[in-house]
Amino acid sequence: MRADIVPGAIFPDYTLLDHTGKRCTIAELQGQDPMVLVLARGGYCPRDRRQHDGLLQLHRETQVGFCRLVTISTDNLYETNEFRGGVGAEWTFLCDHPRRIQKDLDIVEYTDPVHNPMIPHTFVLEPGMRIHKIYDGYWYFGRPTVEELRLDLRAVLKSCRPDWTIDDAEHSAAWERGDKSGFYPYKESQTMLPTESDRTSRRRAPQ
């Protein structure tokens, strides 16, 4: 792995084809959310397929938890879709068949010259592509469990969401006056002012 790819650094943004053939960047896929980024060998690898079996559950949780999940492999577009469909994934798979990431990050898996894959890694990224955690998955048990990823995402969300806890006077007062800037994703809709029924419900809420 390249020496500058460490926790706290910014993960490089690459433009790749997704499983539909659309060109996109990793940053576009991340948006403003934490992301689990999986660098995989490919659909031929039984360890990759087993890891993605576990990620199916995590993906359902990221959908309601305002997080993202993306897989990148060195498969071609056809193989990428076979991999994605074979594991039943519904998140974005990116195709790096030219092996740009493999070469740029210096993660050539030289012990497998037949497939010439990347050494598999799993990254947990904070908003802005900042690296929170890196897992080296050359050995299967070097890969994170779903529970480890949950704990990583919890830590990232606690640090990047100012409304992680809202049971304080400051947040309550901001919400009452219609200031959503400290709330996610409500800060994107500053026009969502509290209605009279909102205020009445709050006054009647049990203490």
Q: Which residues pair with 18 in a beta bridge?
A: 94
pLDDT of residue 167 exceeding 90: no
Clarify whether residues 112 and 29 are in a common domain: yes
Closest CA to 143 of 67, 39, 70, 15: 39
Same domain, 68 and 114: yes
β-bridge partners, 32? none
The verdict on residue 9 lying in a domain is: no
pLDDT at 204 over 80: no
CA atoms within 13 A on the CB side of 14: 21
Count of domains observed in the chain: 2
- Helix pair angle (46-65, 146-160), 10° resolution: 30
Please check whether residues 118 and 80 belong to one and the same domain.
Answer: yes
| 115 vs 31: CA distance, rounded Å | 32
pLDDT at 187: 61
Q: Categorize the per-residue pLDDT at 201 as very low, low, confident or very high, splitting at 50, 70 and 90.
A: very low
Mean pLDDT on 90-106: 96
Whether 68 and 147 map to the same domain: the answer is: yes
Q: Which amino acid is at 7?
A: P
Q: What is the CATH number of the domain that holds 58?
A: 3.40.30.10
What's the one-letter identity of residue 35? M
Q: At 192, is the pLDDT very low, low, confident or very high (cuts 50, 70, 90)?
A: very low
**pLDDT given at position 111:** 95
List, for residues 51-89, the tens digit of each pLDDT value: 999 999 999 999 999 999 999 999 999 999 999 999 999
188 pLDDT tier (thresholds 50, 70, 90) = low
pTM: 0.84
pLDDT in tens, 10-62: 999 999 999 999 999 999 999 999 999 999 999 999 999 999 999 999 999 99
From the list 165, 166, 117, 118, the residue with the least C-alpha distance to 1 is 118
Q: Which two tokens stand for residue 34?
A: 């934490």
Structure tokens at 64: 């309601």
Do 196 and 110 have their domain in common? no
Q: Which domain holds residue 30?
A: 15-160
- For the cut 70, the answer to whether the pLDDT of residue 197 exceeds it is no
Q: Residue 124: pLDDT above 50? A: yes
Residue 4's contacts (CB-CB under 8 Å, 6 or more residues apart) are none
In a domain, 47, yes or no: yes
* DSSP-assigned letters across all residues of 137-199: -SSGGGSPPHHHHHHHHHHHHHHH-TTS---SHHHHHHHHTT--TTSTTGGG-TT-PPPHHHH
Cα(174)–Cα(201) distance, integer angstroms = 16
Q: What is the b/e burial string over 98-132, where b = at least 16 CB atoms within 10 angstroms of the residue's CB?
A: eeebbeebebebeeeeeeebbbbbbbbbbbebbbb
In a domain, 132, yes or no: yes
**Do 155 and 173 fall into the same domain?**
no
- CA atoms of 97 and 187, how far apart (whole Å): 39
